[in-house]
């Protein structure tokens, strides 16, 4: 008796079908994963912009609670107690006694760090930080640009004269 034992494994047709199915699944799943990454970057900027806005408004509320004093250095009862406010009660830095709303990069960084305190994403002028900082279209404006979005310009702009925080998070 000469019988062949059944061979295990895939036939050529089964192998082609499996590879085709895996290819189709990969083609469907990959774009969705890319969208999730973009959503994660957008959510990160949304969260930071929200926290920054809350910080600006809390500092202003503390200024109002203190009776709206002119040119506050080291606002007591807020953050580390080192936030300087303009005459209109908006954060303008943490060092020195210049309480004008005229900003520079150093003051923009100070405001960022003072409002977001210990949980602040790193901010600065190098490409190794989480957010780049520059002056905006007016002398009162700080623009923080998210560095991690794969080339998409996501910014948070702060106007120290008005307290406005504007998020551009495409």
Q: What pLDDT digit, counting tens, does each position of 120-131 carry? A: 899 999 888 999
Examine residue 80 and state whether it is found in any structural domain, yes or no: no
Examine residue 72 and state whether it is found in any structural domain, yes or no: no
Split into its structural domains, the chain has a count of 1
Examine residue 6 and state whether it is found in any structural domain, yes or no: no
Question: pLDDT tens for residues 72-119?
Answer: 899 988 888 999 999 999 999 999 888 999 999 999 999 999 999 877
31 CA to centre of own chain: 24
Smallest CA-to-CA distance from 146 within 161, 159, 162, 157 is with 157
Round to whole Å and give the CA distance between 130 and 10.
50
Contact assessment for residue 120 and residue 131, using Cβ atoms and an 8 Å cutoff: no
Q: What is the pLDDT of residue 27?
A: 82
Round to whole Å and give the CA distance between 43 and 115.
19
pLDDT > 70 fraction of the chain, expressed in percent and rounded: 92
Listed in sequence order, the residues at least 6 apart from 3 whose beta carbon sits closer than 8 Å to its beta carbon are none
Q: What single string gives the DSSP state of each residue in the chain?
A: ---PPPPPS--HHHHHHHHHHHHHHHHHHHHHHHHHHHHHHHHHHHHHHHHHHHHHHHHHHHHHHTT--SS-SS-TTSTTS--EE-TTS-EEESSSS--SS---HHHHHHHHHHHHGGGPPPEESSTTSSEEEEE-SSTTEEEEEES-STT--EEEEEETTT--EEEEE-
Examine residue 107 and state whether it is found in any structural domain, yes or no: yes
Q: What is the pLDDT of residue 7?
A: 63
Listed in sequence order, the residues at least 6 apart from 79 whose beta carbon sits closer than 8 Å to its beta carbon are 55, 59, 114, 115, 117
Examine residue 120 and state whether it is found in any structural domain, yes or no: yes
Using 50, 70 and 90 to split pLDDT, how confident is the model at 134? very high
Using 50, 70 and 90 to split pLDDT, how confident is the model at 34? low
Examine residue 86 and state whether it is found in any structural domain, yes or no: no
Using 50, 70 and 90 to split pLDDT, how confident is the model at 5? low
Q: What is the pLDDT of residue 96?
A: 84
> Residue 128 sits in which domain range?
15-67+102-169
Examine residue 8 and state whether it is found in any structural domain, yes or no: no
Q: What is the pLDDT of residue 9?
A: 73
Examine residue 76 and state whether it is found in any structural domain, yes or no: no
Round to whole Å and give the CA distance between 59 and 53.
10
Round to whole Å and give the CA distance between 139 and 160.
9
């Amino acid at each position: 008796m000469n019988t062949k034992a059944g061979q295990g494994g895939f036939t050529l047709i089964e192998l082609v079908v499996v590879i085709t199915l895996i290819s189709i699944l990969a083609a469907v799943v990959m774009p969705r994963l890319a969208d999730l990454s973009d959503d994660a970057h957008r959510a990160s900027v949304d969260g930071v912009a929200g926290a920054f806005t809350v910080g600006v408004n809390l500092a202003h509320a503390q200024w109002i609670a203190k009776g709206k004093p002119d040119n506050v250095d080291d606002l007591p009862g807020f953050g580390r107690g080192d936030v300087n406010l303009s005459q209109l009660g908006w954060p303008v830095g943490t060092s020195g006694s210049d309480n004008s709303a005229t900003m520079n990069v150093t003051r923009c960084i100070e405001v960022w760090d003072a409002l977001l305190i210990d949980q602040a994403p790193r901010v600065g002028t190098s490409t190794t930080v989480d957010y780049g900082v520059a002056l905006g279209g007016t002398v009162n404006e700080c623009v923080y640009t998210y560095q991690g979005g794969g080339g998409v310009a996501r910014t948070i702009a702060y106007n120290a004269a008005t307290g406005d925080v504007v998020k551009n998070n495409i």
